[in-house]
Amino acid sequence: MRDVDVKLARLRRALRDLGSAAVAFSAGVDSTFLLRVAHEELGGRCVAVTARSRSFPKRELDEAAAFCHAEGVRQVVVDSEELDIPQFAENPPDRCYHCKKAIFGKLLDFARENGLAAVLEGSNTDDDGDYRPGRRAIAELGVRSPLHDAGLSKAEIRTLSREIGLPTADKPSLACLASRFPYGERITADGLEMVGRAEEWMHSAFPGLGQLRVRCLAGRTARIEVPPADIGRVAGKAAEVDSAQRTLGFQCASLDLRGYRTGSMNEMLGQRAGRANNDGFNQHGQRN
């Protein structure tokens, strides 16, 4: 038996032992795989819960609803307006901690009200290697991370997703739209809408584009990140891209020559190491 099969068996056993669960479902690679396996093991005692907010792209909300309908999974959509949380809107390095605590607090309330044994979320072992303050909130609230507990990596989840025919097996990794802004720059409804529309335009203009981020830097500069293999294709339409981004509200557009990389906004945290900083946080994103 392959090591990945042992991990899958461990996951299935853990889900059966729970008896019932609410699965935090965003239509991403991890939560889609988790929902499929949880539904196979728990049937009607598994409920998908999707948080709807300004920072969650509508395209993903539609995909989540379509998947649940096709799979026969009961889905509940809860509204969560993160901009009402001061610690989120101010965009400190631990922004995700406050966001996750609020959202998963609502999911836990839903689970209790509906007699569900646990709330599950889709972190995997690769999430140990980056700065992720949201994981702290998940641990504090007692939310379960069964993919992580089973020892599954992102690559293994993609492999298993492909083998069971999930449409998300090769889907690019996602992150909420708030991750497009540098820490310390206030997040607004207009800003979230602008970067969301900018990314929709890029996907439309460059079919088949994989990973994509349109970061909004100070002065409303659009810093576009695409995989290295796509940099030439985007650069070939530089004038068209710049014009479109200006129309959408940016002052100018730039193309990051290093290409897309996970958590590029976290790079600035490392640059703060060894010196005091003006925003009250140390290099680990914790308050001084």
Total residue length of the chain: 288
| CATH architecture for the domain at 3-163 | 3-Layer(aba) Sandwich (3.40)
When pLDDT is averaged across residues 30-56 and rounded to a whole number, the result is 96
What is the pLDDT at residue 57? 87
What is the pLDDT at residue 188? 94
pTM for this prediction: 0.86
Statement: residue 27 has pLDDT above 90: yes
What is the pLDDT at residue 264? 59
% of the chain beyond a pLDDT of 90:
77
When pLDDT is averaged across residues 271-278 and rounded to a whole number, the result is 38
What is the pLDDT at residue 276? 33
What is the pLDDT at residue 218? 79
What is the pLDDT at residue 101? 94
d(CA 20, CA 22): 7
Statement: residue 121 has pLDDT above 70: yes
Q: What is the domain partition of the chain in residue ranges?
A: 3-163, 177-267
Q: At the topology level of CATH, where does 177-267 sit?
A: Alpha-Beta Plaits (3.30.70)
What is the pLDDT at residue 133? 85
Statement: residue 204 has pLDDT above 60: yes
Statement: residue 110 has pLDDT above 80: yes
What is the pLDDT at residue 287? 34
Contact indicator for 213, 180 with CB cutoff of 8 Å: yes
pLDDT band at 274 (very low <50, low <70, confident <90, very high): very low
Q: Quote the mean pLDDT of the chain.
A: 89
When pLDDT is averaged across residues 234-241 and rounded to a whole number, the result is 96
